[in-house]
Amino acid sequence: MRDAVSANPHKETRLWWFPSVEVLIFIIVFLLSLLVMPNLVNSDGDLGRHITVGEVLLDTHTILRQDIFSHTMLGEDLILHEWLSDVIFALIHRAAGLNGIAWMTAIVIASATVLLVAGLKFLKVRTFTRLLAGFAAFAAGTIHWHTRPHIFTTFIFTGFVLALIYFYQTQRWKVLLPLPFVMILWANLHGAFVSGLVLVGLFLIGLLLEKRFPAALQMGILLVVLILASWINPYGPKMLTHSFGYLRLDYLVDFTDEYNSPNFHDAISWPFAGLILLSFVMGWRSKRFLGWTPLVAISFWTASALYSARNIPLYGQLTVTFLACEADQMVAALSPRLDAYLTRTDTIGRRAWGWMWAALFAGLLIWLEASGGYIDYAGLGNNFNPSYFPVEAIDTLEESGLPEGNMFNEFGWGGYLLLRLWPERLVFIDGQTDFYGEDLTRLHEQTINAQGDWQSVLDNYQVQWVILPPNRGLGPWLDQSSEWKLSYRDDTASVWVRR
């Protein structure tokens, strides 16, 4: 792996108007994100919850510690492990609606790729290799694109990867100093801050196996400091134990699609599969001994990504960084002519800047959408799609009068219903399975499929109305029951009220 060295002491003339690789990457990823953004907005039901929670925090200026959103868990202890992200989502939604959420998501996704490419420049990887690495990481990460707080984790995780690899190559410990402060921010943005602790732990293990004990001691100290830094949040150490504890709940992990293994019959998983194959090929063709640290880190994140698709973006950022550093070394041995060409083009690549083009391009697309235009490929706009969410059903019910009392709702609609109906109506359940727990989630799943004594469940929770997709197993039973009356039905949602 090419050692990171100090910057060239000879100052080169900056090509201010010539777009750099980072600029090209930002423009392409930002555009592609907006092209598919309606899919990201509607691919997950939690966006509405994040906005609603953020609105409550902004209005009350307090951090919630008990649930106020559901009638099933009302008053129970609550840990908002994404509270700061919720505030950010709510602020942007207040300013620019769902368009604002879309623009922020596209900017953060693009910035994570740009950070990777810029960090490789800092690690002395040449321009063309950095360009390929950026596209590889971007392609692998598309499997878990959503308008949700985990986008912040991908960005911060990339920064951790670059800092740790730079320390691994140079032993310059000062690069680690910002990480505890970043961890404080991360622990308040998203529960996956634990991935940063795991990453540092893997580097610690690798350094110990390589018998680099002074560096391992510094990494161990960093790990302890990061753990203490993660406690600086409204819930203290509970945030850390809560985030790790959820992974032990097998039923909830299996119940959540993004925690399941990737489906390699789906084309969106192929870039991930390609990265795995590339890792094997480069490991086989490499003439040098691969250190324990990259081997431990890549092996662990490969296994994690195979186990859970939500880990694939993090796997991509880590693996691509290591592979890009290794590829630059392999080119010299395989093809001296290509190596010389990459060195010549790198001279221009390092001098290029051109960020005004990225700002102008992003500003133009944002202006078009803000003016009512559509950027996405289907021309749908950044809205909740009535084909996925009960938009028309809620519109109709609000006009005619919402049913009184407790509701029983579709799991994936919980966040949307909170956005539309809270605080007038409380949900039965929403996507925060770590809060609702295995028992209630399992009970909901059985009831919605008309398994077991579903009527007793609705009676025990004093449910007065039900809103579900027409294809749910409970629907035909409610149609036949003398205790329930169909109040509304369209292709997306059906509503029954208790007689």
Instruction: Encode pLDDT of 46-93 as tens digits.
Output: 999 999 999 999 999 999 999 999 999 999 999 999 999 999 999 999
pLDDT < 70 regions, the chain: 1-12, 245-259, 285, 287-289
Total domains, the chain? 2
Residue 156 placed within a domain: yes
> Same structural domain for residues 350 and 401?
no
pLDDT at residue 261, rounded to an integer: 85
Sheet order of strands, 484-489 included: 406-409, 463-468, 494-498, 484-489
> Same structural domain for residues 419 and 351?
no
Residue 8 placed within a domain: no
> Same structural domain for residues 359 and 428?
no
> Same structural domain for residues 342 and 398?
no
> Same structural domain for residues 124 and 173?
yes
> Same structural domain for residues 339 and 400?
no
pLDDT tens digit sequence for 362-408: 999 999 999 999 999 999 999 999 999 999 999 999 999 999 999 99
> Same structural domain for residues 355 and 401?
no
Residue 377 placed within a domain: no
Residue 368 placed within a domain: no
Identify the domain containing residue 475 by its residue range.
Answer: 391-498
Residue 94 placed within a domain: yes
Residue 4 placed within a domain: no
pLDDT at residue 1, rounded to an integer: 44
Looking at the whole model, is its pTM more than 0.85?
yes
> Same structural domain for residues 229 and 358?
yes
